[in-house]
Amino acid sequence: MVESEYDICIIGGGINGAGIARDASGRGLKVLLVEQGDFAGCTSSASSKMIHGGLRYLEFYDFGLVRKSLAEREVLMSIAPQIVWPLEFCIPHQNSIRPAWMVRVGLFIYDYLWSRKKLPRSSGINLSRHKFGIGLKPQITKGFSYADCWVDDARLVILNCLSAKENGATILNYTRCIGLKRSKSQEWSITLKDVKSEKEFKKEFKTRAKIVINATGPYAHEFLKNTNQLKNDTPALRLVQGTHIVVPKLYDGDHAYLLQLKDHRVVFVFPYGEYSMCGTTETDFLGDPIEASATSTEKSYLCQALNTHFERQTTPQDIVWSFSGVRPLFEDNETDVRKISRDYRLYQDRTGDALLLSLFGGKITTYRTLAEEVMEILRQDFPDIGNNWTGSKPLPCCPVEITKNSAPSEDDLKYFIEKEWAREEEDILYRRTKWGVHLPKEQLKETKILLNSLLEERDKS
């Protein structure tokens, strides 16, 4: 149930919105989090699924972001070991792209920009004698290894939402903010709409909040425009589409690859159950981010990247699944997309003393530090909110075995519907879990039948 008034209302249920909701509610603030679709339904579930320092950012001298990200990598391994785990990477080396000394220097800096307790340091490897060379083309004999982390990105969002709920926050998905107005009492009047309700009289409702946080990701500008809050000095966004493909397994093992390409971009290849996942692309995007999808050009580009390095050749027809997300990058008028910083910016609008705080840019790895910076801004309005705490308290665990490759039980499905806000088939099959990709076809068909009957029961109640 939505209450009549909150300290803060967060619009946007991706990783940044969920992280802020967790941090703020844990400091005693009365928090409302609303998301127009499902949590992690857009950009936050379409990432490369890494918690990483950003090795490639060193090439553009973004040492501050890399250092901050490396520090967060250690924190997230500590507070969420159930969904963040170490992953060793191999960089097959080709002198025609970058000289070996340059890669070695970059890895040395990456090793020592921040202390590491759980991950091995980088090293050079002879791929003709190393297990990482199995599956690669035989002429690729030299490489490097280093370590970062893999994350279940969508579950990271959900666990932050669950933690916020434990702290007393009100958490709503499929709820759109359709009206936002500063009132005379120096607070916000907010009109919300339940986009799933079939009962007309329940669709729209109002609440109030002292502060509104715009955490809508690629929709940040559109949200400000639609609510008449866009200012002349509002920072610009550059929307960039990133596509990943899932293909039949290219190699055995739990390691990943960082492939260097002739256009000086890099592409990652990850183990993905019985498959391999490859990405990402970077192309400017126009349109509705929720409709982003892989283009034939992107599919061919990624297949070519794989075929340059692996013995097993891949065609677009081999692609089992693809997904695309739109990254909202802070526009700095850089012509080369690779060079645009992946760091975030916080924009304050205190017109009329009611703060509207908008988030621009950012990456999954640094969501928690972003939330802490937001709390420091809010300290002006709530002086007694206390100190940072999210880096020392573990995120909650899920009672359902989400990685199993057998059909889930009715109780498993009910858990996600009743406890984790699932309201659509894909909420469970592709975000709360990856059963939609990994279950055998017959088991997936049976699961969908059972799931849809449970969702229908839920909608009738």
- The enclosing domain of 244 has a CATH number of 3.30.9.10
- What integer pLDDT is reported at residue 244 of this predicted model? 98
Question: Do residue 229 and residue 356 come from a single domain?
Answer: yes
Q: Work out the number of other CB atoms within 10 angstroms of the CB of residue 325.
A: 25
Note whether residue 53 is domain-resident.
Answer: no
Last residue of some domain: 330, 359, 386?
Answer: 330
263 and 322 in a single domain? The answer is: yes
- Look at residue 199 and tell me whether its pLDDT is greater than 70: no
215 lies in which domain range? 5-44+154-236+341-378
**Residues 34 and 173 placed together within one structural domain of the fold:** yes
Q: Are residues 317 and 250 in the same domain?
A: yes
Q: What does the DSSP assignment read for 336-363?
A: SGGGS---EEEEEE-GGG--EEEEEE--
Average pLDDT over residues 176-190: 92
The mean pLDDT of 277-296, rounded to a whole number, is: 96
> Does residue 200 carry a pLDDT above 60?
no
Whether 118 maps to a domain, the answer reads no
For residue 115, tell me if it sits in a domain.
Answer: no
Instruction: Give a yes or no: residue 83 inside a domain.
Output: no
Q: What confidence score (pLDDT) does residue 198 get? A: 63
Residue % of the chain over a pLDDT of 70? 98
Residue 335 forms part of a structural domain: no
pLDDT above 60 (res 418): yes
Q: What is the pLDDT of residue 186?
A: 86
- 368 belongs to a structural domain: yes
Let me know if 65 is exposed, middle or buried by CB neighbors in 10 A (0-12, 13-18, 19+): buried
* pLDDT tens digits along 218-234: 999 999 999 999 988 88
| H helix or E strand, kind and range, residue 212 | strand 204-214
Domain count of the fold of the chain: 3
Contact 320, 288 (CB under 8 A): no
Instruction: Name the pTM for this structure.
Output: 0.96
List, as one string, the DSSP characters of 32-71. Answer: EEE-SS-TT-SGGGSS--EE---GGGGGGT-HHHHHHHHH
What integer pLDDT is reported at residue 2 of this predicted model?
A: 86
Residue 369 inside a domain? The answer is: yes
162 and 226 in a single domain? The answer is yes
- Tell me: do 284 and 433 sit in the same domain: no
Q: pLDDT tens for residues 53-92?
A: 999 999 888 999 999 999 999 999 999 999 999 999 999 9
- Is residue 22 included in any domain, yes or no? yes
**What's the rounded mean pLDDT across residues 151-158?**
98
254-271 pLDDT per residue, tens? 999 999 999 999 999 999
pLDDT-derived band at 342, boundaries 50, 70, 90: confident
Banded pLDDT at 461 (limits 50, 70, 90): confident
Per the CB < 8 A criterion, the answer to whether 38 and 154 are in contact is no
